[in-house]
Every structure is written in C-alpha cells, then in structure tokens.
Amino acid sequence: MTRTLVIASLLAGLTLGAGCARLGDSVARLNPFGPDTKTQGRGVEAKLTTLGDKRNFRIRVTPVLADIREIRAEARYAATQHCIGRIGSSEVDWVIDPATGEIAEPIEGNAMVFRGRCRS
C-alpha cells in the first residue's frame, strides 16, 4: 500500500512538473521584455551609447530600410534595458521632432538614430 502511494505521488509530481515547464515557456513568450519578443534575428540591431551621464543616451538602429515598427521596437527595447539597469526605471523621455511631434528619427548612413533620457 505504501509503495503504491509513493509511486503514485512520484508520477503525479512528474506530470505536474512537465505542465509547469510548458507554462513557463508560455509565460516567457508573453513577456514583453523576454528574448522571444525582441526583434533580434530579424536583421534589426540597436547599439546604445551613453552621452555625458548615465541617463542620456543615443541609439543607432540598423538597417534603415527595415520596417519602422521593428526599428522603433528595437530602440524602445534597448532604451528600456538601459534605463532599468542604470536608474531602476523603464520611463524614457525621447527627443521629439518639433515639426511632426513624433520621436525624432534622423538617418545617419544605414541607421536611424534616436536620443533619449532615462526618467527617474
């Protein structure tokens, strides 16, 4: 009787463990900051450089011919990672183009350039 309970408990634990592993995979895919949602692997790459202090930064996203939504997502991802790591907050104040009211996206060579400041 005891042996049967031990075996049943082990089988139940293994079954639940397998279900949790699948749940963990699903949660990782839903995480907006997880590696599965980053545009890496689609040919879009961001390079962040700090300007002056740790709060001001510049992001170059290449290639300039990529989809604008992917370019902006890559810039937001890089800025969020930077600000959380340096300041502890994900809030960013972006440099705005006064003519359009949108985030300024000047082009330098094969890259769009974004500038921002981590908000504390």
The full set of domain ranges for the chain reads 1-30, 45-118
Is 37:29 a contact under the CB 8 Å cutoff? Answer: yes
CATH of domain 45-118: 3.10.28
77-80 contacts at long range (C-beta below 8 A, 24 or more positions apart): 77/33, 77/38, 77/39, 77/46, 78/46, 78/47, 78/48, 79/48, 79/114, 79/116, 79/118, 80/33
Residues 76-108 have pLDDT tens digits of 999 999 999 999 999 999 998 888 888 878 889
Q: What is the pLDDT of residues 35-71, one digit of tens each?
A: 444 444 458 899 999 998 889 999 999 998 888 889 9
Instruction: Answer yes or no: are the C-beta atoms of 8 and 1 closer than 8 Å.
Output: no
